[in-house]
Amino acid sequence: MAQGKEMIKSISVHNYKSFHPTTPAVIPIDTSNDKPVIFFGLNGAGKSAIGEVIDGLGRKDARFAHCSLTPTNGGPFRYLVYNHAFVERVIGEPEGMPGIFTLGEVDTEAQKSIDEAQKQLNELGDKEEALNGQIGAAKKLADQRFETGKDRVWKAHTTYATSEPMWGWLQGYHKDKTKFYEKLQDTVVGTDEVLDTLDQLKQRWSDADSTESAKLNVTLDSSGFSAVEADGVWAEHIVGSGASRLAALIDKLGNGDWVGAGRKYARGEDCPFCQQGLPADFKDELAKLLDGDRQTRVDHLQGLVEQYAQQLDNLRAKVESAQAEPFVQKEPTFKSSWEGLRGRLQSNLAAMRGKLEKPGEPIVLESCTPRADELGGAVQRVNERIAAFNARVTDRAAEKERVKAAFWKLLRRDREEAFVSYEQLKQPAADALKALVADLAQVQADTLALTNRLVELRQSRAGVDAAVQAINRRLQSLGIESFSIDKKPGENSLYRLVRPGQDKGDLKSLSEGEKTLISFLYYIVLLSGSETAAVDFPLEKTIAVIDDPISSLSHNYVFDIASILQHEVIKPPQGKPKARQVIILTHNLFFLHELLNLGNKGSVLLRVVKNAHTSVEPLDPKDLLNDYDALWQILRDARDGKVPKQAVPNTMRCILEHFLWFTQRNDQFGDALKVISERDRNFKPLERFLNRGSHQDGINLAVMDYGHVDVNYFLAKFQEVFQATGFPDHFASRMGIAEVGALPA
């Protein structure tokens, strides 16, 4: 399986030890290469807390549930942490050190089966990684298409939510495009459903938002006009009676209407027009002519005219009253239909009055019904509007909700094409993603089955003998012969301590340094094994976390421990399995330097610092090396006569301040200075100057005579300081001396 890809990529810690109680410290980790991740910081800065969090989360300890690890793909992993708690678990158990399984020798066929299964498992891991990548790409494409779809749907918001009341109708959907999209997606609009326009919705909202009470319907009755118009009298020739002897002459002259109109002027015995005497029976004959049936018909005409005129006056008054209603004013056909009807009625009334004046002349009236029907239609629409208004004001809150729902439907229909387009793009991607997920599930199922098979195969070779031999070989390689380990009699799964010449070895008899050493070697072997026969994690699935493996050890072992880590864990021999990720935490500068010098210059370096709370920041190795290297360069230059000799004493003291701070050798340093001073009394002023413990007594400046600095003498004594504290190689390497010995004259 590919290395350097599936590992911890971030750690989040809070409310633990020196980390902030509420604000998580998120520690990002570069996973672009297979170099180790190294945390460097002083004791007490919070390094161990990071290792404990990883360990606790790996063991699913509820105390660390508020913290988190973010791994990349390829899990699950085993988080194997070497720290103080690990040492206590290994060394502190009264019954003995737990055994390590799955390391025993096996026959060739069994090993072939294991190797083949592991190869298949690695291939499945590669396939799972590839599928995860494809799924990630498919999800990214789906997300991109969804973003495009959301933007197109959001145009409905941009178009309509420009002012009130529409802004209020979309309350809660102004900032979240996804929420707006989902709401509109869930809005159902029938294909043939008739929707109100935006103006109609605004009017409905205005009605529901008003304080008006219910309105009365508009009533305009024009039914009486058609009955008058339909009377047959308008087409009749109304003439006088034939019983009068005047009838023939008047009929001949065709002036019956004139005679009828002039009858009122005949009061005396003379004709009111020609002033001639009238025949004695003229009035009687005139009465015979005009009275009777003719008069009855004329009276009928008179009644019809008065009825028509009164109905017109009544209708006009009602129309004037109705026109005060806003809904009537907003009905576009009301005014025109009323004006058309009124004109027709007035024309008919004028014709009727003409007929009344000349009953003998027939007239033809135009029916007002079409015009009345137009006005009736306008009134009907007004009354429908009033009925709708009354329904709205009856339950204003419900009406407002109906308006909002109708508005969402209007938006959905407006954006229907965007939804259709997105669904057409989404479905193929969704189908492809579904297929990839199904493939991934199958690969994971195959991986689980193969993992279980590997456990069975490895259990068949389970044993602790190989682990015992591996740990003892490492002890011997380090020159340790004072103790070893062996299987505990009667307890095949436990180890015990063995010392030469003793029947029983007690783990509690180990010094702190010995505990650190044996537990670290135990950890190195455990990386390739398991503490139980039933559970097995290959090294390729293991995250190795090592917290200060040189704690309590003699400095002589610093380079050995660094070498073991480099050549067995960080970069094992070709063909050997390798830990998925290596995380090292240390406070020791020289251990850090050694790790970097062994080929880990590209490691992820992080500094753990603590002010009020612990924080982690990137660490540039130049930040640690530049100042220190510069000081040694000054000494080398002074030795070669390139800088003034007066710089030597202060430079030496600065070097020791750096060196002793990182190595924690203050006590040894003081003792070494005393020993050198006792051998050489001339060293006393330099001792006083170099001893950091005296920096505050104000004497240093007085005891040094910079005019008499002997560079070679000072450098020789400086070399003695490093020899006395056990670091002659460090002095030699820094001063560029090929072999440890006296400085050249």
Which helix or strand (DSSP H or E) is residue 8 part of?
strand 8-13
Letter string b/e over residues 524-550, b meaning 16 or more CB atoms within 10 A of that residue's CB: bbbbbbbeebeebbbbbbbbbbbbbbb
672 to 666, 680, 718, 720: CA distances (angstroms): 10, 12, 11, 8
Report the predicted TM-score, pTM, of the whole model to 2 decimal places. Answer: 0.45
The per-residue pLDDT for 180 is: 93
Contacts 24+ apart (CB under 8 A), 325-331: 325/215, 325/218, 325/382, 327/215, 327/382, 327/385, 327/386, 327/389, 328/218, 328/382, 330/385, 331/378, 331/381, 331/382, 331/385
d(CA 679, CA 350): 150
Q: What local confidence, expressed as pLDDT, does residue 266 receive?
A: 58
Phi, psi of 619 (to 5 degrees): -125, 120
In a 13 Å sphere around the CA of 553, the CA atoms on its Cβ side amount to: 21
Q: Which amino acid is at 455?
A: V
> How is residue 63 written in tokens?
């105390």
Angle, CA of 593, 598 and 601, to the nearest 5°:
70
**Is it the case that residue 707 has pLDDT exceeding 60?**
no
Residue range 272-296: mean pLDDT, rounded: 62
3-state secondary structure of 26: strand
Write out pLDDT tens, residues 567-598: 889 998 887 888 889 999 998 777 887 888 88
Do the Cβ atoms of 721 and 657 come closer than 8 Å? Answer: no
H or E stretch at 383: helix 369-394
Sort residue 61 into left (φ over 0), alpha (ψ -120 to 50) or beta.
beta
Higher pLDDT among residues 206 and 629, named by residue: 206
What is the per-residue pLDDT across 342-382, written as a single tens digit (0 to 9) for each?
Answer: 999 999 999 999 888 888 789 999 999 999 999 999 999 99
Report the length, in residues, of the chain.
Answer: 745
- 433 phi and psi, to 5 degrees? -65, -40
Structure token pair of residue 573: 């021999």
pLDDT tens digit string along 525-567? 888 777 666 566 678 888 999 999 887 776 667 778 888 899 8
Side-chain half-sphere exposure of 14, counting CA atoms within 13 A: 9
**Residue 93 has what DSSP assignment?**
-
**Cβ within 8 Å of residue 376, ≥6 positions away:** 220, 222
More confident residue, 213 or 368: 368
Confidence at 244, pLDDT banded by 50, 70, 90: low
Which of 152, 144, 141, 143 is closest to 177 using CA atoms?
A: 152
- Tell me the torsion sign for CA atoms 675, 680, 684, 690: negative
SS (H, E, C) 533-550: CCCCCCHHHEEEEEECCC
Q: In this prediction, what percent of the chain has a pLDDT beyond 70?
A: 78
Token pair belonging to 582: 């290596």
At 434, which amino acid appears? K
Q: What is the mean pLDDT of the chain?
A: 80
Cβ 256 vs Cβ 226: under 8 Å: no
pLDDT tens across 38-74, in order?
A: 998 877 789 999 999 999 998 899 999 999 998 876 5
Quick check: bond before 165 cis, omega within 30? Answer: yes
Residue 252 has pLDDT above 80, yes or no: no
State the pLDDT confidence band at 4, using cuts at 50, 70 and 90: very low
pLDDT at residue 239, rounded to an integer: 67
Q: Tell me: the pLDDT tens digits for 179-189?
A: 999 999 999 99
Q: Which of 651, 658, 656, 661 is nearest to 672 (CA)?
A: 656
Map out the domains of the chain with their CATH numbers: 8-77+537-619 (3.40.50.300), 223-394 (no CATH), 622-735 (no CATH)
Instruction: In whole angstroms, give the CA distance from residue 196 to residue 202.
Output: 10
The pLDDT of residue 667: 67
Q: Exposure string (b/e) for 579-599, b if CB count within 10 Å is 16 or more?
A: bbbbbbbbbbbbbbbbbbebe
Cα–Cα dist 192/195, whole Å? 9
Position 258 confidence tier, pLDDT thresholds 50, 70, 90: low
| Cα-based distances in Å from 417 to 94, 149, 218, 317, 691 | 75, 10, 43, 53, 84
- Cα–Cα distance measured from residue 382 to residue 364, given in angstroms and rounded to the nearest whole number: 34
Which residues have C-beta within 8 Å of that of residue 668, sequence separation ≥ 6? 724, 725, 726
Residue 135 burial (CB count, 10 A): 17
Residue 698: per-residue pLDDT: 40
What sign does the CA torsion over 404, 410, 414, 415 have? positive
* pLDDT tens digit sequence for 395-419: 888 888 889 999 999 999 999 888 8
Residue 524 vs residues 145, 549, 716: alpha-carbon distances, Å: 50, 11, 41
What is the residue-wise DSSP string for 568-603?
A: IIISPPTTS---SEEEEEE--HHHHHHHHHTT-TT-
Decide: 28 and 39 in contact? Cβ < 8 Å: no
Q: How far from each other are the two terminal CA atoms of the chain, in whole angstroms?
A: 58
- Cβ count within 10 A of residue 229: 20
**pLDDT, tens only, 473-522:** 888 877 787 778 787 776 656 777 788 777 666 666 777 888 888 888 88
**Helices (H) and strands (E) in the chain — how many of each?**
27, 12
pLDDT(703) > 60: no
Distance, in Å, from the CA atom of 625 to the CA atom of 640, rounded to the nearest integer, reads 22
Where does residue 21 fall: left (phi above 0), alpha (psi -120 to 50 degrees), or beta otherwise?
A: alpha
Q: Going edge to edge, which strands form the sheet with 37-40? A: 78-82, 542-547, 581-586, 37-40, 604-610, 614-618
pLDDT tens-digit readout, 426-459: 888 888 888 989 998 998 898 888 888 776 665 5
